[in-house]
Amino acid sequence: MKRKDPETSHQNHQGEPKNHKPKAGKGTRLTSLRALRHRDFAWFFSAALLSNAANWMQQFTILFVTFQLTRSNTWVGAASFSILIPILILNPLAGVMADRFPRRTTIMATLALQASVSVVYTAIWVAGSITPWWILLLNLTAGVASGLQIANWQALVPLLVPKESELPAIRLNSMQFTAARAIGPLVGAGLLSVLGPGAVFAGNAGMFVVLLAVVASLKPREISGTRSERIRVVLREGFRYVRSRAPLKQSVITGFFIAYAGGSLLHLAPGLAKDDYGVGEVGLAGFITAAGVGSVVASIFIIRSADYVDRSLMTRWGMGIYATAPIVIAATTIYPLGLIGYFISGVAHVIVAIAMNTTIQAQVSEEMRGRALSMYLMGIFAGWPLGSLIGGWLGDLVGLRPVFAANGLILGSFLCVGLVFFDGFRRIDPNHDVMASSAKDPV
């Protein structure tokens, strides 16, 4: 199924979208890369790519250090849980903040806090004082910063480009996260084996400072806020807005399932690499990097094709591919085959995640953007910590491979639910604010 250009769509008097294919010069084709022609977004994209790669280095190192200290999958799951649960709790507040206050200011404050956490990690590692409890405390602090930052970050991106370049910028922003996941663990494994965790933590702190300087230089478009209303009222309005629109609800639910059953493939990788595959930190980095490379490969496809392919079709294919990844990983202890499984998971994750994120961004009004994004992010950050904590606990009881196989069945089952009850996800395709759901909507 082919799709019209999302940037030239408009509505007729009945509320239905009337689309026109994008016009390009002879022998050319529009791609998402056109958003990089805008200076502020190009600088933000580049600095964010480097900083997020460094942050992935640190996250990879923290999981490895936690497993080395405890030899426990439960502790590894707890380390992931401790950084993710504050994000879940704070996301609604962050969505309100994004719609009430300058998004750039909030991002700068949270970047400063994240840099401070990395500095403390460096200090306690050098002092030989790092413990699992220190890791939980620092991860909780970093999670608070991320919880207040992510919705503001996502909502800032459209303000760095003209209206006609919003969707390409949104897609590229999602893609830089996936590229960072490919770069970060690979570089982190090298630093970890040669210079040790202290160098990884210090490098991440430095990159946060670079990103902070770039964000300070940005000049985003101004929007009108909702400062006069009470936070509780504004938050309740955001919940009602998402609940009244089936495509937004479907995106939130889908985000939860890919985070719960798919995100745990990365968060529980240290125990799998050590106990089932018999590889060390380099092998662990290989798993995470394979997922990142798969994400980059999928991103290249999306850069060239997202303007022309329905998001519902991308989601159906992505979920089908995603369901096979944990089953492949669980079915073998042959390392190259495990790498293939993680590669497949990376391909699938970026296809589904970008489809969902773009749906949220395309179907909301600007004054509701922060709150709608926070609802979507709540689904993701409910799934990640639950999948990590429950998966780690079950992994210590029955082994990680059965847990991974069960996650594959969960993803496959959710795809069937989407095909039957969500009309094959077709409602996520429009690029305008859809009408409120009817009483017959299944969700």
Least confident of 18-27, 63-72, 289-298, 398-407: 18-27
Task: Write down the pLDDT at residue 340.
Answer: 95
**pLDDT confidence bin for 139, thresholds 50/70/90:** very high
Whether the per-residue pLDDT at 437 is higher than 60: the answer is no
How many angstroms separate the CA atoms of 361 and 166, rounded?
9
Q: What is the mean pLDDT of residues 269-293?
A: 82
Distance, in Å, from the CA atom of 233 to the CA atom of 229, rounded to the nearest integer, reads 7
pLDDT-based confidence at 24, cuts 50/70/90? very low
Q: Please tell me the distance from the alpha carbon of residue 244 to that of residue 100, in angstroms, as a whole number.
A: 22
Question: Residues near 107 by Cβ (< 8 Å), separated by ≥ 6?
Answer: 149, 152, 153, 156, 215
Residues 6+ apart with CB under 8 A from 128: none
32-428 is a CATH 1.20.1250.20 domain: yes
Confidence of residue 368 (pLDDT cuts 50, 70, 90): confident
pLDDT at 4: 43
Distance CA(3)–CA(314), nearest Å, equals: 11
- Distance CA(18)–CA(277), nearest Å, equals 53
Residue pair 239/90 in contact by the 8 Å Cβ criterion: no
Which residues partner with 17 through β-bridges? 11
Higher pLDDT pick, 175 / 425: 425
- How far apart, in whole angstroms, are the C-alpha atoms of residue 326 and residue 317? 16
Q: Average pLDDT over the chain, rounded to whole?
A: 82
What does the alpha-carbon distance between residue 248 and residue 228 come to, in Å, rounded to a whole number? 26
Query: Does 51 or 231 have the greater pLDDT score?
Result: 51
DSSP sequence for 364-429? S-GGGHHHHHHHHHHHHHHHHHHHHHHHHHHHHHH-HHHHHHHHHHHHHHHHHHHHHHSGGGGGG-
Is 162 strand, coil or helix? coil
From 101-115, 173-187, 338-352, 367-381, the region with the lowest mean pLDDT: 173-187
Cα separation, 302 vs 293, in Å, equals 14
Secondary structure class of 327 (helix, strand, coil): helix
pLDDT of residue 223: 66
Residue pair 437/245 in contact by the 8 Å Cβ criterion: yes
Q: How confident is the model at residue 380 (pLDDT cuts 50, 70, 90)?
A: confident
Is the confidence at residue 3, as pLDDT, over 80?
no
Q: Residue 224: pLDDT above 70?
A: no
Check the CA dihedral 118-120-122-128 and report its sign. Answer: negative
Can you tell me the distance from the alpha carbon of 8 to that of 18, in angstroms, rounded to the nearest whole number?
9
Amino acid at 145: A
Q: Where are the domains of the chain?
A: 32-428
- What DSSP state is assigned to residue 259? I
Query: Under a CB-based contact definition with an 8 Å cutoff, are residues 404 and 388 in contact?
Result: no
Residue 224 per-residue DSSP state? -
The CA R_g of the chain, rounded to the nearest whole Å, is: 21
Distance between CA 15 and CA 7 in Å, rounded? 17
pLDDT at 298: 86
Tell me the C-alpha distance between 109 and 101, whole Å: 13
Identify the three-state secondary structure at position 242: helix
More reliable by pLDDT, 19 or 418: 418
How many Å apart are CA 200 and CA 60, to the nearest integer?
Answer: 10
In the numeric block, the tokens 């095909």 are attached to 419
Question: What is d(CA 235, CA 363) in angstroms, rounded to the nearest whole number?
Answer: 18
What is the distance between the alpha carbons of residues 191 and 160, in angstroms, rounded to a whole number? 34
- Please state which of the ranges 14-28, 197-211, 347-361, 406-420 shows the lowest mean pLDDT: 14-28
pLDDT value of position 325: 95
